[in-house]
Structure 1
Amino acid sequence: MIYQDPLAFLIGLEGVALLDGWAGDHDREFTDARLAEIRRLLDDEKLRDRGVHAGWAGPADIYQQRSASYDAQAGGGLFDVDVPFVTEFLSDRKPGVALDAACGTGRFAELLAESGHQVIGVDSSPDMLAHARQRVPDGEFHVGDVERLPLPDDSVDVIVCALALVHVPDLAPALAEFTRVLRPGGDLVISDVHHELVTRGSAIKGSDPGGEPRIVTTCRHQLGDYLRPALSLGLQVKRCEEPHSNRAAGPLPEPTTEIGDWQDWPWSLMAYMPSVVRAASGRPSLVIWHFQLPDP
Structure 2
Amino acid sequence: MTNGWESSAAAWIADQGETGDFSRRFVLDEPMLARVRGRGFANALDVGCGEGRFCRLLRDEGVATTGIDPTPSLLAAAQSRDPKGEYLEAGAEALPFPDDSFDLVVSYLTLIDIEDSTRGIQEMARVLRPGGALLIANLNSFNTAGGWMRSDGPVQGFRLDHYLQPRAEWVSWRGIHIRNWHRPFRDYMQPLLATGLLLRHFDEPEPHGDTATANRFRRAPYFHIMEWEKPAARATTGEPR
TM-score bracket for this pair, using the shorter chain length: 0.7 to 0.9
Instruction: Verify: 1:186 aligned to 2:153, yes or no.
Output: no
Aligned length: 211
For residues 24 and 121 of structure 2, what CA distance do their matches in structure 1 show? 22
For residues 118 and 61 of structure 2, what CA distance do their matches in structure 1 show? 29
Q: Which residue does the alignment assign to 2:49?
A: 103
Displacement, 1:178?
0.3
Q: How does 1:150-161 map to 2 (within 5 A)?
A: 150-161=96-107
Alpha-carbon displacement from aligned partner over 1:224-251 (angstroms, at most 9, x marks no partner): 222111111011101111234478x35x
* 8 A contact 2:5–2:177 mirrored in 1: no
Bigger shift: residues 194-203 or 170-179: 194-203
For residues 142 and 279 of structure 1, what CA distance do their matches in structure 2 show? 36
Displacement, 1:146?
0.9
* 8 A contact 1:121–1:141 mirrored in 2: yes
Instruction: Verify: 1:136 aligned to 2:82, yes or no.
Output: yes
Which of 39, 45, 48 does residue 93 from structure 1 map onto? 39
For residues 74 and 87 of structure 2, what CA distance do their matches in structure 1 show? 11
Which of 140, 143, 147 does residue 93 from structure 2 map onto? 147
Specify every segment of 5 or more residues in structure 2 that has no aligned partner in the other structure, as ranges: 149-168, 234-241
Matching residue's letter, 1:108 = F
SS of residue paired to 2:91: coil
Instruction: Verify: 1:243 aligned to 2:205, yes or no.
Output: yes
TM-score (norm 2): 0.75
Alpha-carbon displacement from aligned partner over 1:62-88 (angstroms, at most 9, x marks no partner): 443434314149x65211211111111
Specify every segment of 5 or more residues in structure 1 that has no aligned partner in the other structure, as ranges: 1-55, 207-212, 253-269, 271-276
Q: How does 1:284-295 map to 2 (within 5 A)?
A: 284-295=221-232
Which of 220, 223, 226 does residue 188 from structure 2 map onto? 226
Bigger shift: residues 64-73 or 175-184: 64-73
TM-score (norm 1): 0.62
The percent identity for this pair of structures is 27
Q: Based on CA coordinates, which of the two structures has the bigger radius of gyration?
A: 1
* 8 A contact 1:163–1:192 mirrored in 2: yes
SS of residue paired to 1:176: helix
Instruction: Verify: 1:60 aligned to 2:5, yes or no.
Output: yes
Alpha-carbon displacement from aligned partner over 1:105-144 (angstroms, at most 9, x marks no partner): 1111011111222211101111111221233332211001
For residues 176 and 33 of structure 2, what CA distance do their matches in structure 1 show? 34
Q: CA RMSD in A?
A: 3.1
* 8 A contact 1:101–1:123 mirrored in 2: yes
